[in-house]
Amino acid sequence: MSYDPDNIFARILRGEIPATRVYEDDDTLAFMDIMPRADGHCLVIPKTPCRNILDASPEQLAAVMRTVQKLARAVMAGLGAQGVTVQQFSEAAGGQEVFHLHFHVLPRFEGVKLRPPGQPGDMDEIAAHAERIRAAIVAG
């Protein structure tokens, strides 16, 4: 399986389509999922191309996981989450729909189930959650 440079996350990286960005460094970008399965659901991607965990280099994985941990801590502090679920899907049979490596960071609250996939979120709510996550990252 080869990497498609026109996948939607590659287009976000090139600035061709908008995203609600919450964090970036030299190697990774984090932005809000537009169909959030939990309040504050965000995604972390490498800036360099790879489809998923199967073709990622150790360096890509290390960089992405550093940012996943940063976002996990930020949703705990910024949104008052009580836990975090991290998900990654590889290839269609593994549940993957966008073929640029990404990890889902899902803030969790006691007794609150994940919403079903594929339901567009309220963009004002997503923006408000993003602001609280960004503030928590800045506060460190």
Q: Which of 35, 54, 123, 138 binds ligand AMP (CB under 6 A)?
A: 35
**Residue whose beta carbon is closest to ligand AMP:** 35
Question: Of 63-71, 89-97, 107-115, 126-134, which part binds ligand AMP (CB under 6 A)?
Answer: 89-97
Beta-carbon contacts of residue 12 (< 8 Å; ≥ 6 apart): 18, 19, 29, 31
Q: Which of 98, 109, 115, 134 binds ligand AMP (CB under 6 A)?
A: 98
Instruction: Compute the distance between CA of residue 115 and CA of residue 67 in angstroms, rounded to an integer.
Output: 24
Convert residues 108-137 into a mask of x (bound to ligand AMP by CB under 6 A) and - (unbound).
------------------------------
Q: Which of 19, 68, 81, 105 binds ligand AMP (CB under 6 A)?
A: 19
Q: Which amino acid is at 132?
A: R
Q: Considering only CA atoms, which of 54, 46, 51 is closest in space to residue 12?
A: 46
Instruction: Compute the distance between CA of residue 84 and CA of residue 41 in angstroms, rounded to an integer.
Output: 10
For ligand AMP, which is the closer residue by CB, 18 or 140?
18
**According to DSSP H, which parts of 42-101 are helical?**
58-79
Q: Which residues lie near ligand AMP (CB under 6 A)? A: 8, 19, 33-35, 43, 89, 95-98, 102
